[in-house]
Amino acid sequence: MQSELLLLVLLMVVVASALVWLSLVMAATEGAVSRVTRASLNNLILAVQTDLDLGQFSRMKRIEKIHKVQRLIADRYATAGSCAFFRIVCNVMDGALVAGIASLFGAELWIGLICGLVFALLVAFVSILVRPRVAGASKPLDIMLAYAQITTVAVALTPFAKARNPNKGRKHGKDLSLSDDEELDKIQLEQGRAMVDRLVESNGFDPEVSEMLRNVLTLSDTLTREIMVPRTDMICVDRDVSLSSALKLFSRSGFSRIPVIGEDVDDLVGIAYLKDAVRTIAFNPAASSRVISSVCRDPMLVPESKPVDDLFHHMQQTRQHVAVVVDEYGGIAGLVTIEDAIEQIVGELEDEHDRTQHQEPEQVGPSTWKLPARTSIADLEELFEIDIDEDDVDTVFGLLTKMLGRVPIVGSSAVVRGLRLTAVDSAGRRKKVSTILVEPAGTASEDGNDEETAQQADKLPDEKD
């Protein structure tokens, strides 16, 4: 009788030890299943098939094990749920077995319960020291291959784990669990954001660096249309403009790359580069009369729905610094540069030529004012005591744009209601007009509406009034 009792106790100890091991295995597999991709398994199959040191039998066994892992990651959430369920069951059964062993030695019920609780806490402490989930995260493929058979059995015994897959129907009713790359990117992105949040909360971390890290993680969620210069703000040059005139436009606008168009913006011919125009005229001054379309380059076209991180990598690979954005109908939606993508990470970029926009109107003469481009028309009317009936624009910049019929650049001028508006300054890397000089035009029509809008935005400095 005594020997049978000892044998039973020994058996229970062995089972409890096996359950502890199984609990650690389930924890490691639970951490590994979310990090194995279908691409890595396909590459591993190719490596096994081309390994000449393996025999046919060993090769087939390895490939079969890889196929098991592929079936497991086909539904990651179900596999992870099965592992979590068995890990909890193993811990509960360990406590129950220890409580049973204590009762076999004649201990009272409350003592047996305390023994089971202490053992369960001890197993939890060992799990923290061993960190099986960290091992599963650092070597996910090895862990999944090593315990593929055990995990397959666990999944087969817990069919209810497939009942609540959070990926089902998330996107137009499609099952995103089959898209390993998208799912893994999403998991890593969420983990990266959580890590950045923890770093920011620590007082010793630079807030500027943390902001850049946040911006990097949001690049994939930002579309090109959100950072592009819209077509209404694009500075373009006609295909028939001479190189000498184009050089003056380059100088006045402050841009080194300008789209070349035909009849309208949608009739895109190419991109004119300042260095190409300078190189052509520098070695052949007679070429200044050639049209700009003769030196323009083929444009890089990108859809407006392209994520910014993909746009940045594409521009890096093709060594392009500017791209034309097209909408879903093939029309020109705007312009984007590689600096626009970089600014999403590091913030606004400015150089020594950039000037800060004036925030308040400044009187520079008896009837002459320098106004910020965003000054409202109501303020302009109040300063000069006139009535400007333009309901479709709200700012001085918008008024000048309407009079010109295109985006103004430094030097552009137009007359409205007896006032001459002249763009005199630009600010920011995009060289947008920041200051407009407003002064009496000298003469005005009887109705007070001398609409001298013949001055075009691309008129040259020596052609101005």
User: What's the pLDDT score for residue 97?
Assistant: 85
User: What's the pLDDT score for residue 349?
Assistant: 66
- Which range among 22-31, 168-177, 193-202, 281-290 shows the weakest confidence by mean pLDDT? 168-177
* 362-463 is a CATH 3.30.465.10 domain: yes
Nearest to 269 by CA among 240, 247, 233, 305: 240
Answer whether residue 260 shows pLDDT above 90: yes
Around 244, how many Cα atoms within 13 Å sit in the side-chain half-sphere? 9
The rounded distance, in Å, linking the Cα atoms of 407 and 393 is 14
Say if residues 222 and 307 touch (Cβ distance below 8 Å): yes
Sign of the C-alpha dihedral computed for residues 385, 391, 395 and 400 taken in this order: negative
Quickly name the fold that domain 224-346 has.
CBS-domain (3.10.580)
Answer whether residue 237 shows pLDDT above 60: yes
Residue 188 main-chain phi, psi, to 5 deg: -65, -35
Average model confidence (pLDDT) across the chain: 78
Residue 140 main-chain phi, psi, to 5 deg: -65, -40
DSSP character for 253? H
Query: What value does the mean pLDDT take over residues 282-307?
Result: 89
Answer whether residue 407 shows pLDDT above 80: no
- Compute how many other C-beta atoms are within 10 angstroms of the C-beta atom of residue 153: 12
CA 398-402-408 angle, 5° bins: 70
Integer Rg of the chain from CA: 36
User: What's the pLDDT score for residue 135?
Assistant: 61
Say if residues 379 and 394 touch (Cβ distance below 8 Å): no
DSSP character for 306? S
* pLDDT-derived band at 105, boundaries 50, 70, 90: confident
The rounded distance, in Å, linking the Cα atoms of 329 and 311 is 20
Answer whether residue 195 shows pLDDT above 80: no
* pLDDT-derived band at 351, boundaries 50, 70, 90: low
The rounded distance, in Å, linking the Cα atoms of 35 and 374 is 51
User: What's the pLDDT score for residue 78?
Assistant: 85
The rounded distance, in Å, linking the Cα atoms of 104 and 108 is 10
- Name the residue ranges covered by the structural domains of the chain: 2-162, 179-217, 224-346, 362-463
> Whole-structure pTM over 0.75, yes or no?
no
The predicted-structure confidence for 132-155, as pLDDT tens digits, reads as follows: 666 666 778 888 888 888 888 888
- Compute how many other C-beta atoms are within 10 angstroms of the C-beta atom of residue 464: 11
